[in-house]
Structure 1
Amino acid sequence: MSDNQNLLAEQRRALILDEVRRRGGVRVNELTRRLNVSDMTVRRDLDALARQGVVEKVHGGAVPVAPASSHEPGFEAKAGLEPGAKEAIARAAARLVTPGSAIALTGGTTTYALAHHLLDVPDLTVVTNSVRVADVFHSAARGAAAGREGAATVVLTGGVRTPSDSLVGPVADRAIGSLHFDLLFLGVHGISVEAGLSTPNLAEAETNRRFVRSARRVVVIADHTKWGTVGLSSFATLEDVDTLVTDAGIPEVLRAEIAEHLSDLVVAGEPGDSEPGTGTGEGPADN
């Protein structure tokens, strides 16, 4: 009986933690109704989660424990987060690319997913500071696609490698600043109305600024969990972004808020994401 009760408590706490992370916070009275348990049971569960360091108790409920603004997780750690959402975003973003374009991809697990969907787009010139993204195209060139017409030309910038396998710093900045892209696909650590686009890495922030300045159109590809996260350094405002491609997990209230600042929002996996410029806005604008 005791083991069964413990199992039920663990399941209940897992549900509570998922709700906190998904919604950004929960109230005790909401949890009591949803879980059909007493107020005291919910409070004990929140106490247990707080002791584990995964939530922070606030008056009437709990919120996620915010990571330090300078914390930068590695590529492998980020790759396991929201894989389904990233794949949907990658498919939708790939439809924005036309053959023969000069495009840029920054570092990140979502741009890495996108790279796989670009292998069959002919005659691309791809500039990237991501070692992982460059490896996608390199592996394709060595494999079955070797020697095929229309294979992408890939330019990998130099620089200092970050925990997320991006190359940043003065060498990368000079290379990027001398180029011009039709389209930039930008992965982000965090995005918000107040802070714009941000990263925990100061050098990466400057490299991303160079990317944004060199692009005719800027497309941010970010799953819903990135919204409301703020890194140490901001490198662009929402007004610098032409299109945001995100996933269906983004709440309606945030969609309305985003629409006030962006001309084009594409929600992957929902009706309207099948063609460029058919999101909630009026279509992508040129910088």
Structure 2
Amino acid sequence: MTGHERRRQILAALESGAVRVSELTEQLGVSDMTIRRDLEILESHGWLRKVHGGAVPAESSTNEPGFEAKSLLEQPAKRAIAEHAATLVEPHSVIGISAGTTTWMLARSLQFHPGPLTVVTNSSTVANVPMAAAGGGAATVILTGGVRTPSAALVGPIADRSIGSLHLDRLFLGVHGMDARAGFTTPNLAEAQTNYVLVQHARQVVVLADSTKWATVGLSDFGALSIADVLITDDQLTAEAQRHLGDLVGELIIVSSAGGLAESVLS
């Protein structure tokens, strides 16, 4: 198989979402190094974006990957972020969990929370996770309703009105991108509005964002970086990005994607 044909097949696989290097080596019968070289070539032409362990389709500000595609990306980092976030959840509290794959991992971590909890979410995938069960405490889950996006977020006027009548002790917020100038963004206009309403009705905002979200800018913003009272990310974030975030968010917590203690950076 020629390199041109191999790269054509990689692009064809990307039409279904993210691809993994390990899967491509098996599918195409070539070495890991060959696939990585192919990905570098395709990225240089703007046809894809390399991520840890694979690649995703080249993003525009309006591109909205589906939940399944996003759930394959940056799993160790997302898991570490979610597990640390779970330690911030107190029994008898009312928490909001926005849509997203990292927030979904947080919901899974809360299966071991002693409870009781009240969970407000605009994510159909989060709502499907049984929470606060292991310790015997019950979790009351309030699903906002609304129109479902490709990323499994429920958005729009129905969601906004539901959230607008509630008051959250702490909001755990997933984001599509974070940027020093653009702030927190999403490719979906309606989701931006729903996220904005969630933020307005929370006493504390905790943003969960792995390092690949830095310098990613979606179509619509829903707040400056300063809206984050706490931001939890992973240790692959560059030193420059850490300085930017440390200056703008209330508290920056950096977790190791390989496990271990988290580092807190107060701004």
Give the TM bin, normalised by the shorter chain: 0.7 to 0.9
Structure 2 Cα separation of the partners of residues 261 and 151 of structure 1: 36
Q: How does 1:134-213 map to 2 (within 5 A)?
A: 134-137=127-130, 145=133, 149-213=136-200
* 2:117 matches 1:95: no
Q: How does 1:1-287 map to 2 (within 5 A)?
A: 11=33, 14=36, 17=39, 46=41, 50=44, 53-54=47-48, 66-121=58-113, 122-137=115-130, 145=133, 149-269=136-256, 273=262, 279-281=264-266
Residue of structure 1 equivalent to 2:9: none
Judged with a 3 Å threshold, the aligned counterparts in structure 2 of structure 1 residues 67 and 267 are, in CA distance, closer, same or farther, namely same
Judged with a 3 Å threshold, the aligned counterparts in structure 2 of structure 1 residues 263 and 10 are, in CA distance, closer, same or farther, namely same
Structure 2 Cα separation of the partners of residues 200 and 225 of structure 1: 16
The unaligned stretches of length 5 or more in structure 2 are 7-28, 50-55
Q: Report the secondary structure of 1:171's partner residue.
A: helix
Counterpart contact for 2:232–2:252, Cα < 8 Å: yes
Structure 2 Cα separation of the partners of residues 231 and 110 of structure 1: 18
Cα shift at 1:185: 0.3
Counterpart contact for 1:212–1:218, Cα < 8 Å: yes
Structure 2 Cα separation of the partners of residues 65 and 77 of structure 1: 10
Q: Report the secondary structure of 2:68's partner residue.
A: helix
Structure 2 Cα separation of the partners of residues 133 and 49 of structure 1: 33
Greater fraction strand = 2
Q: Report the secondary structure of 1:220's partner residue.
A: strand
- Matched letter for residue 127 of structure 2: A
Structure 2 Cα separation of the partners of residues 165 and 184 of structure 1: 18
Counterpart contact for 2:48–2:58, Cα < 8 Å: no
Cα shift at 1:50: 4.1
Judged with a 3 Å threshold, the aligned counterparts in structure 2 of structure 1 residues 163 and 257 are, in CA distance, closer, same or farther, namely same
Cα shift at 1:70: 0.6
Q: TM-score, normalized by length of structure 2?
A: 0.79
Structure 1 Cα separation of the partners of residues 169 and 110 of structure 2: 15
- Matched letter for residue 241 of structure 1: A
Give the length in aligned residue pairs: 234
Counterpart contact for 1:191–1:197, Cα < 8 Å: yes
Identity of aligned residues (%): 48
Counterpart contact for 1:196–1:237, Cα < 8 Å: yes
Counterpart contact for 2:178–2:184, Cα < 8 Å: yes
- Matched letter for residue 48 of structure 2: V
Counterpart contact for 2:234–2:254, Cα < 8 Å: yes
